[in-house]
């Protein structure tokens, strides 16, 4: 494909898009590996570790481009890409960290480089497929997207959390690339070009739609199974309250919608016969990071990361409750938000769950409309959703 043609720009946007979406976990490892270093060493560790990872990834991707010229490998790669795309839409499991504690700049650089080597298989295959054999296009795409991921990782993660549609679009894009990859395999390309040219459009479209439908369906089943396990697992529940509204679980994530729920709880106090007996349990739930991230970072590092994010999400609600003179107990948990909130409500023998209708949404976020629906389905007390 010639430089500057529509086909060139479409392929370039595909390379940048899939690399950004698939590099979320890599960005987390980069940020957390350097987290424990002194401030003046953090930028150095990120720069050296990421620079080495960039060179390594470009080399691996060029090798992948050449390998994909062989018969059958594109068919295998397409199947693998479809699997990767579906996995992108599934909720993460709640796992502890298994990596060693990172101490010193050398250890941080080693962690970044090793993690990028192990975790970049999906990036390498997807980018090689999108490049369609054009090495110049491949290098340009990686040169633009990798620095963006490395130096704007926090911004990218926030955007993905605030706008979950980005992840869905990314998964669909991978499905589209997988479809294109399959029909361009040397084994079937001649037949497709001469006898079934329509497959050049149908296969990518089927890949994109199929990934989203299958991924959403599997995600709903996984969340339901998690909720069922939580309901059946033993837990130490506190004694139930007397009849009436006394113990409330207030689920928040720091968003404007969560603050509306906080103000509603404050307003409820005035309607109670014994307002001083209202016991508010302020809860924030952080989604677990992916298993890939957990392999390279220690449990302490991950706990510190989740605690920092959980505390930040609780600050606005805590300030509003304190200003109103309403007593509260603060909690933060890690897990799938809907089932985790429901499980916590059972543990606390609460009389009601209060939460915002929509909050900061996304695969790694805390509250959103679908989370509220999940809580309603899995808890046996009233759920007040404040719009």
Is 159 among the domain residues? yes
Same-domain pairing of 167 and 296: no
> Crossing angle of helices 135-151/121-131, nearest 10°?
140
Q: Which domain holds residue 299?
A: 238-386
pLDDT of residue 133: 75
pLDDT for 161-214, tens place per residue? 666 677 788 888 888 988 988 888 888 888 988 888 898 889 989 999 999 999
pLDDT of residue 256: 84
Is 375 among the domain residues? yes
Q: H helices within the chain, ranges in order?
A: 6-22, 24-33, 39-67, 73-88, 105-119, 121-131, 135-151, 153-162, 165-183, 189-195, 199-232, 256-269, 291-296, 299-323, 337-347, 369-378
Q: Is the pLDDT of residue 79 over 70?
A: yes
Is 231 among the domain residues? no
HSE (side-chain half, CA atoms, 13 Å) at 122: 24
pLDDT of residue 322: 92
pLDDT of residue 115: 64
Q: What angle do CA 286, 357, 345 make, to 5 degrees?
A: 55
385 three-class SS: strand
pLDDT of residue 227: 58
pLDDT of residue 250: 92
Q: What angle do CA 284, 296, 306 make, to 5 degrees?
A: 10
Same-domain pairing of 127 and 243: no
Residue 269: how many CB atoms within 10 A of its CB? Answer: 18
Same-domain pairing of 119 and 145: yes
Same-domain pairing of 327 and 289: yes
Cβ 49 vs Cβ 296: under 8 Å = no
pLDDT of residue 213: 93
pTM of the model: 0.61
**Local structure of residue 275 (DSSP, 8 states):** G
Same-domain pairing of 292 and 219: no
Q: What percent of the chain has pLDDT over 70?
A: 68
Same-domain pairing of 358 and 284: yes
Higher pLDDT, 100 or 38: 38
Nearest to 340 by CA among 215, 233, 239: 233
pLDDT for 211-242, tens place per residue? 999 988 888 787 677 656 655 554 444 444 44
pLDDT of residue 135: 77
Same-domain pairing of 207 and 280: no
Residue 362 confidence class, pLDDT cut points 50, 70, 90:
very low
Last residue of a domain, one of 197, 226, 255: 226
Q: Is the pLDDT of residue 351 over 80?
A: yes
Query: What is the length of the chain?
Result: 387
Identify the top-confidence range among 61-75, 115-129, 157-171, 313-327. Answer: 313-327
Last residue of a domain, one of 203, 226, 249: 226
Same-domain pairing of 251 and 215: no
Residue 381: how many CB atoms within 10 A of its CB? Answer: 16
pLDDT of residue 273: 67
Q: Is the pLDDT of residue 307 over 60?
A: yes
pLDDT of residue 365: 38
Last residue of a domain, one of 226, 252, 275: 226
**pLDDT mean over 361-365:** 40
Is 1 among the domain residues? no
The torsion region of residue 362 among left (phi > 0), alpha (psi -120 to 50) and beta comes to left
Please tell me the total count of domains within the chain: 2
Same-domain pairing of 110 and 194: yes
Nearest to 207 by CA among 236, 229, 175, 171: 175
pLDDT of residue 317: 92
Cβ 296 vs Cβ 32: under 8 Å = no
Same-domain pairing of 261 and 315: yes
Is 170 among the domain residues? yes
Backbone phi, then psi, for 133, in 5-degree steps? 85, 0
pLDDT of residue 320: 92
Is 232 among the domain residues? no
CATH code: domain of residue 266? 3.40.50.620
Out of 35-39, 332-336, 349-353, least confident range: 35-39
Higher pLDDT, 387 or 119: 387
Same-domain pairing of 186 and 115: yes
Is 103 among the domain residues? yes
Is 50 among the domain residues? yes
Same-domain pairing of 250 and 188: no
72 three-class SS: coil
pLDDT of residue 155: 66
Higher pLDDT, 229 or 364: 229
Each residue of 299-315: b (16+ CB within 10 Å) or e?
Answer: eebbeebbeebbeebbe
pLDDT for 114-159, tens place per residue? 666 666 666 677 777 787 777 777 777 777 766 666 666 556 666 6
Average pLDDT over the chain reads: 76
């Amino acid at each position: 494909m010639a430089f500057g043609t529509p086909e060139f720009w479409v392929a370039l946007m595909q390379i940048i898009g899939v690399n950004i979406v698939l590099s979320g976990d890599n960005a987390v490892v980069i940020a957390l590996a350097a987290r424990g270093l002194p401030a003046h060493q953090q930028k150095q560790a990120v720069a050296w570790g990421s620079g080495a990872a960039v060179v390594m990834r470009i080399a691996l991707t060029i090798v992948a481009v050449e390998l994909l010229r062989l018969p059958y490998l594109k068919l295998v790669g397409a199947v693998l890409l479809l699997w990767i795309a579906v996995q992108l839409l599934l909720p993460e499991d709640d796992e502890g960290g298994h990596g060693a504690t990172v101490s010193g700049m050398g250890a941080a650089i080693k962690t970044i480089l090793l993690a990028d080597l192990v975790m970049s298989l999906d990036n390498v295959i997807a980018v090689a497929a999108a490049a369609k054999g054009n090495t110049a296009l491949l290098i340009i795409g990686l040169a633009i997207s990798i620095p963006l991921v490395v130096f704007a990782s926090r911004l990218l993660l926030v955007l993905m959390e605030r706008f979950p549609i980005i992840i869905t679009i990314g998964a669909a894009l991978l499905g589209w690339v997988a479809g294109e990859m399959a029909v361009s395999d040397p084994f079937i390309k001649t037949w497709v070009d001469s006898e079934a040219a329509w497959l050049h459009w149908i296969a990518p479209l089927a890949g994109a739609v199929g990934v989203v439908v299958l991924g959403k369906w599997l995600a709903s089943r996984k969340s339901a199974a998690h909720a069922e396990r939580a309901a059946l697992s033993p837990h130490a529940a506190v004694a139930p309250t007397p009849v009436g509204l006394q113990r409330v679980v207030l689920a928040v994530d720091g968003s404007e919608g969560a603050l509306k729920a906080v103000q509603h709880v404050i307003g409820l106090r005035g309607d109670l016969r014994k307002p001083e007996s209202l016991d508010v349990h302020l809860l924030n739930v952080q989604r677990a990071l992916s298993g890939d991230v957990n392999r390279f970072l220690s449990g302490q590092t991950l706990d510190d990361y989740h605690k920092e994010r959980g505390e930040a999400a609780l600050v606005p609600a805590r300030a509003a409750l304190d200003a109103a003179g309403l007593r509260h107990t603060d909690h933060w948990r890690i897990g799938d938000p809907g089932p985790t909130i429901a499980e916590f409500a059972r543990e606390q023998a609460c009389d009601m769950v209060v939460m915002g209708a929509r909050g900061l949404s996304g695969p790694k976020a805390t509250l959103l409309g679908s989370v509220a629906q999940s809580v309603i389905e899995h808890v046996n007390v009233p759920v007040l959703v404040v719009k």
